[in-house]
Amino acid sequence: MKYISIIIPTYNDERIIKNKIIHLIKRLKKIKIQYEIIIINDGSNDSTKEKIQSIQKKLNCISLVNNTSNQGKSFAIQKGIKKSKYNHVILIDSDLPYFSRFITVINLLKKKYDFVYINRRHHKSKIINKNFSLYKIFRFFIGYLISLLLKIFISLDTKSIDTQAGLKGFKKIKKIKSYRFISKKFFLDIELIYLYSKLKKKIISVPVSYIISKNSTINIFSFKKNFFILCELLKVITSIILEKKLS
Domain boundaries, the chain: 3-131+164-215
Are 198 and 176 contacting, i.e. CB atoms less than 8 angstroms apart?
A: no
Predicted confidence at residue 226, as pLDDT, reads 77
Are 101 and 25 contacting, i.e. CB atoms less than 8 angstroms apart?
A: no
Predicted confidence at residue 223, as pLDDT, reads 64
- Distance of alpha carbon 90 from alpha carbon 6, whole angstroms: 5
CA of 1: how far to CAs of 27, 51, 147, 193, 215, in Å? Answer: 17, 31, 33, 21, 34
Predicted confidence at residue 142, as pLDDT, reads 73
Predicted confidence at residue 130, as pLDDT, reads 65
Predicted confidence at residue 145, as pLDDT, reads 78
In terms of Cα–Cα distance, which of 181, 189, 198, 225 is closest to 82? 181
- What CATH class does 3-131+164-215 carry? alpha beta
Instruction: Please give the average pLDDT of every successive group of 10 residues along the chain, which has 247 residues.
Output: 95 96 94 94 97 94 96 97 97 96 96 94 84 67 77 74 91 93 95 93 94 61 75 93 84
In terms of Cα–Cα distance, which of 92, 90, 118, 103 is closest to 8? 92
Are 77 and 188 contacting, i.e. CB atoms less than 8 angstroms apart?
A: yes
pTM: 0.91
Q: State the CB neighbour count (10 A cutoff) for residue 221.
A: 7
Predicted confidence at residue 214, as pLDDT, reads 62
Contacts of 205 (CB under 8 A, 6+ apart): 116, 117, 118, 119, 122, 160, 161, 162
Predicted confidence at residue 32, as pLDDT, reads 83
Contacts of 161 (CB under 8 A, 6+ apart): 119, 121, 193, 205
Are 42 and 65 contacting, i.e. CB atoms less than 8 angstroms apart?
A: no
